[in-house]
């Protein structure tokens, strides 16, 4: 049955999403006291065939690294939407948040302290039990300080409770809580305005940008993982490799 289900939806979903669906189905079967062998040929052969057909490499959103982020921020003005986007991009990057975590934040979840922001994540993609997590975003005293940007957004919007990040219409009027898709569109729009390839960026670009920039700055792997909350160091190390890609200029080394 699972094999037929995968074959039926294969054209509509990415290979990564299909693999997650299989893992989710297996977990639900275990919770119900039932067995589901994902290594059974009916399942494994379908996935293997799809990998051969499509290739196993995943398309990853371009990382919004610190230089690119600053490039995007330089295009922002002082309008309400600009202040929101500045706060959203800086907080999303500094806290290495998933877009679903970012839009789920309420004002009560973000404490503005003398040291910085104390952000409480109530639930996340890898926290099925809802134990939550607490993250710190320190003050930098620079023009791109996430804490100052967030405080400026709250002051300009007048938001005192409820959703921390909200829609702003073309007349500067506040709307409801942003969706995850809206975050992706904001990232793409601001990247495009900065002269970057908008299509290469997504909501995940902020989180990827933090990990890549931290690795490039020589931050220890475990310190990066503490902020990103990666449960798999294998996944995190992809960003570390990306951050260190041009650390050694082999083109120069071979004499070109």
Residue among 180, 213, 13 nearest 100 (CA): 180
Q: What share of the chain is helix, strand, coil (3-state, %, to 5)?
A: 55, 10, 40
Q: Can you tell me the distance from the alpha carbon of 87 to that of 159, in angstroms, rounded to the nearest whole number?
A: 13
Q: Can you tell me the distance from the alpha carbon of 2 to that of 249, in angstroms, rounded to the nearest whole number?
A: 48
Residue among 150, 135, 123, 139 nearest 95 (CA): 135
Any idea which residues carry the catalytic annotation?
Answer: 98, 125, 204, 207, 230, 239
Q: What is the mean pLDDT of the chain?
A: 84
Domains and CATH numbers, the chain: 2-54 (no CATH), 66-243 (1.10.443.10)
Q: What's the pTM?
A: 0.74
pLDDT (0 to 100) of residue 44: 72
Alpha-carbon distances, residue 137 vs 67, 87, 164, 247 (angstroms): 19, 12, 16, 27
Parallel, antiparallel, or unpaired for β 133-138 and 116-121?
Answer: antiparallel
Highest mean pLDDT out of 3-17, 53-67, 156-170: 156-170
Instruction: Convert the pLDDT of each residue in 174-190 to its tens digit.
Output: 999 999 999 999 999 99
Instruction: Convert the pLDDT of each residue in 60-106 to its tens digit.
Output: 788 999 999 999 999 999 999 999 999 999 999 999 999 999 999 99
Three-class DSSP category at 135: strand
Q: Can you tell me the distance from the alpha carbon of 22 to that of 193, in angstroms, rounded to the nearest whole number?
A: 39
Residue among 32, 151, 37 nearest 86 (CA): 151
pLDDT (0 to 100) of residue 151: 97
């Amino acid at each position: 049955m699972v094999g037929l289900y995968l074959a039926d939806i294969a054209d509509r979903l990415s290979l990564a999403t299909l693999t997650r669906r299989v893992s989710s189905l297996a977990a639900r079967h275990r919770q119900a006291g039932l067995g589901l062998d994902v290594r059974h040929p009916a399942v494994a052969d379908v996935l293997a065939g799809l990998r051969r057909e499509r290739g196993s490499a995943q398309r990853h959103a371009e990382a919004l690294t610190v230089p690119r982020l600053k490039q995007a921020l330089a295009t922002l003005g002082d309008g309400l939407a600009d202040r929101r986007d500045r706060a959203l991009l800086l907080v999303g990057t500094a806290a290495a948040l998933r877009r679903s975590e970012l839009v789920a934040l309420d004002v009560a979840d973000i404490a503005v302290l003398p040291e910085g922001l104390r952000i409480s994540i109530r639930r996340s993609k890898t926290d099925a039990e809802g134990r939550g997590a607490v993250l710190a975003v320190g003050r930098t005293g620079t023009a791109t300080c996430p804490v100052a940007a967030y405080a400026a957004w709250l002051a300009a919007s007048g938001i005192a409770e409820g959703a921390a990040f909200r829609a702003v219409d073309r007349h500067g009027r506040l709307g409801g809580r942003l969706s995850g898709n809206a975050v992706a569109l904001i990232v793409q729009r601001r990247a495009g305005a900065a002269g970057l390839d908008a299509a290469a960026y997504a909501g995940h670009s902020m989180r990827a940008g933090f990990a890549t920039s931290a690795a490039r700055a020589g931050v220890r792997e475990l310190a990066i993982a503490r902020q990103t909350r990666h449960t798999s160091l294998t996944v995190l190390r992809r960003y570390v490799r990306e951050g260190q890609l041009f650390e050694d200029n082999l083109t120069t080394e071979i004499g070109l």
